[in-house]
Amino acid sequence: MATSTKRADAQRNIDAILSAAADCLSRNPAASTSEIAKAAGVGRVTLYGHFPSRAELLDAVFVRAIATGEESLGQVDLTGDPRAALIRLIETSWELVDGFRTLLIAAQEVLPPSRVRELHADPMARVERLLERGRTEGAFRTDLPTTWLVSVMHNVMHGAANEIQAGRITSAEAAPYITATLLAAYTPPGERVAV
């Protein structure tokens, strides 16, 4: 078999494994590698040949999900009033987090927190740029570091995913809760929270 054919077969297997893993983990964050291999139409040996551990598989699936999310986030209009832009960014970000909620939970169980944050670097940089612009225009507070404010958004989003998983809130409730929480957190002290 030619090398290019082997590479094409290997790439098809990798794509099938990653797609199956995303699908299985979206239904059950504890889905086993055996379930994922079966759903991908490959054997466990093939799966482990490409992803030697569950952590490496989850990392690859999460990388792919973040890349997909970046395409959507790149389409969000962040011009105009920083608060309105923030609301648009929160809504799109939440749709992505909610869609990948169980994958996020699975990743948080096996990946170090530093890796989860590293994988969120591009989305977090987008938030940071918007917050910096809002701070310059007087829309957002300047008494706390921007990096802290970005971290607040990251943690509120992920906290909402955990609350839904625990059955304490619904997906529909989460977006307005997140928006209200972040607008309040970002409003300069002493100013009325604008909605």
pLDDT single digits (tens) 43-87: 999 999 999 998 999 999 988 988 888 888 889 999 999 999 999
What's the average model confidence in pLDDT over 168-187? 94
pLDDT for 167:
92
pLDDT of the residue at 26 = 84
CA distance to 3, 82, 164, per residue, from 121 (Å): 36, 21, 24
What is the model's pLDDT at position 99? 81
**Count of CB atoms situated within 10 Å of the CB of 109:** 12
Q: Output the pLDDT for position 67.
A: 85
Interhelix angle for 101-110 vs 54-73, to 10°?
Answer: 140
Q: CB within 8 A of 91, min separation 6: which ones?
A: 175, 179
